[in-house]
Amino acid sequence: HSDILESMIIKLYSKGVTTREIADLIEKMYGSHYSPAQVSNISKQMIPKVEAYHKRKLSDKFFCVYLDATYLPLRRETFEREAVYIAIGIKPNGHKEVIDYCIAPSENIEVWTDMLQNMKSRGLKQVELFLSDGVVGMKTALARTYPKAHFQRCLVHVMRNICAKVRVDDREKIMNEFKQVHQQTSKKEAAAVLHKFYARWNKAYSNVIKGLKEIEPDLLVFYNYPKQ
């Protein structure tokens, strides 16, 4: 009985349910009273597993790796939003895996650099293609750690940035046009669509177009690879 409950507590905790919510749930379902402190002590069994996960030997090759941070409310003295850095890799056979993650108060390139170096020291020697948003210094950090890897700017982040800088009335039209950039059959066609986009919107949004031109070398890199 106790083992089953403990196993369930650990599962619920790993899904992000709070210790108080778990305690209430156990009491309603089984009539067994667990205090939030007891639930917390049981859930600490996860800690060695988490530590082992962060130290495990990594595969020596991923075809591409996605790097991004998301902000989640975490309980410290109070509930505060902190950056969870995540690296997701895809192997040449198509298998997808969370390579690693780490938590820091905010997103900055120093943490990304440490994470990349840690991944390399644990066995990830080669990556063909990295995909990331425009965090300052990312391309330089990747060049130092994985000099042979190529870099693709995440087009979803690019579209969000464009949206934030254009009038509400123009957003839908601009997004529909920009999406055509990554729906072509070749890099040449995609470049033609991109340049047409520049010409159409430069007069109304010259700063937006200037910003896109500066990162153009990183926008169409994925076209160098087979569609699949």
Q: Which pLDDT tens digit goes with each residue over 30-49?
A: 887 888 888 888 888 888 98
36-50, 84-98, 109-123: least confident range: 36-50
Retrieve residue 28's tokens.
Answer: 């309603």
Q: Which residue has the higher pLDDT, 43 or 207?
A: 207
Dihedral sign, CA of 142, 143, 147, 148? positive
Retrieve residue 175's tokens.
Answer: 């997004």
Q: Is 38 helix (H, G, I), strand (E, B) or coil?
A: helix
Tally the residues of the chain: 228
User: Quick one: which of 68, 63, 84 has its CA closest to 16?
Assistant: 84
% of the chain with per-residue pLDDT over 70: 98
| Topology of the domain covering 58-152 | Nucleotidyltransferase; domain 5 (3.30.420)
Instruction: Name the strand (E) or helix (H) holding 19.
Output: helix 19-30
User: Quick one: which of 81, 87, 43 has its CA closest to 62?
Assistant: 87
Q: Is 90 helix (H, G, I), strand (E, B) or coil?
A: strand
Retrieve residue 70's tokens.
Answer: 């998301």
What residues contact residue 194 under an 8 Å CB cut-off, 6+ apart? 181, 212, 216, 219, 220
pTM score, whole prediction: 0.82
% of the chain with per-residue pLDDT over 90: 68
Report the pLDDT averaged over residues 77-87. Answer: 86
- Provide the pLDDT for residue 1: 52
Q: Is 65 helix (H, G, I), strand (E, B) or coil?
A: strand
- Provide the pLDDT for residue 80: 81
Tell me how far apart the alpha carbons of residues 176 and 178 are, in angstroms, rounded to a whole number.
Answer: 6
Q: What distances in angstroms separate CA 53 from CA 47, 98, 99, 100, 102, one per listed residue?
A: 10, 10, 9, 8, 11
